[in-house]
Amino acid sequence: FIVVFDAVLKAPRNNEQQKIPGKMAGSGLNSNPSSRGPYTPTSASDRKLDNEMNASGGASNTSGASEHMAPEKLLIPLIAVALLLTSTANSVMFKKMTNKMPNYPFFLVELSTIVYLPICWLVCIILRWLGKLEDRNFEFPKHKFAVVAALEGIAGVFCLFGGTYTKGTTQMCLAQASIPITMALSVVFLRTKFEWMQYTGALVILSGVFVVLSPKLFAPADAVSAGGSDIFLFNVIFFLSILPGAFANIYKEEAFKDFPKI
């Protein structure tokens, strides 16, 4: 829905049409410039009138551009806040869902997919109606969508199976490992180069993941098995869901590079 809001906000407005000035008294301007040569002011009064018209036209264009840019400046903070709220709600509801149905992770995978598809279809239909989907997007090879779907589907299965007995706070810490893993895959497969500050940030994230899992790594076996809703084996399964998701991100970056608006 954020994508639809962005498209509606940037849709061309009917009142934003180019206006051609008509014949001006005493200026020699004509509404049909093709019937005359280029207008050159000769007298002092004509030059003064021409300067006033240029000044007013530039001011109106500047004000129109600022009015058009004002909503777009508000769009990014709105999207950031909406992303924060929806992602937090998604994480909380995901854990509540797995707590209520811990023995049916495969059913939850299918249910999530069934709910996900109609919403995406609705967004695509609205964007198509607004003319925001280019015709060349429909020429994109469909088998690449299948590859992305397979990778993200595997990630979803691991995520739901592992999330059943992984605490919500542990899930948040483990999920952050997707950043350094994606960076590493980008370096290997895409030959991407990062700054040293970015490598430092990735190292900090991996250190945080190690700190979260270290009590279970060095704890006695009976203490780990008695972990209740946070079991080490399921933590590892949840962590493994990051790998196919990171591969999907790398594949999308390479596959969609010629279709940036798809």
In tens digits, the chain (262 residues) has pLDDT values of 445 545 554 555 444 444 444 444 444 444 444 444 455 555 555 555 556 555 555 545 555 555 555 667 788 888 889 988 998 888 888 888 888 888 888 888 888 888 888 888 888 888 888 887 777 778 888 899 899 999 998 998 898 888 888 888 888 888 888 889 999 999 999 888 899 999 998 899 888 888 877 776 666 655 544 445 778 888 889 999 999 999 999 999 888 888 776 6
User: Whose CA is closest to 245, among 134, 162, 169, 143?
Assistant: 162
Distance from C-alpha of 239 to C-alpha of 215, rounded to nearest angstrom: 16
> pTM score > 0.75 for this model?
no
Do residues 162 and 237 touch, judged by C-beta distance below 8 A?
yes
Distance from C-alpha of 48 to C-alpha of 9, rounded to nearest angstrom: 39
Do residues 29 and 36 touch, judged by C-beta distance below 8 A?
no
Q: What pLDDT does 169 receive? A: 81
Q: What pLDDT does 165 receive? A: 87
Q: What pLDDT does 52 receive? A: 58
Q: What pLDDT does 10 receive? A: 56
Do residues 112 and 119 touch, judged by C-beta distance below 8 A?
no
Q: What pLDDT does 47 receive? A: 57
Q: What is the 3-state secondary structure (H, E, C) of 235-259?
A: HHHHHHCHHHHHHHHHHHHHHCCCC
At 25, the amino acid letter reads A
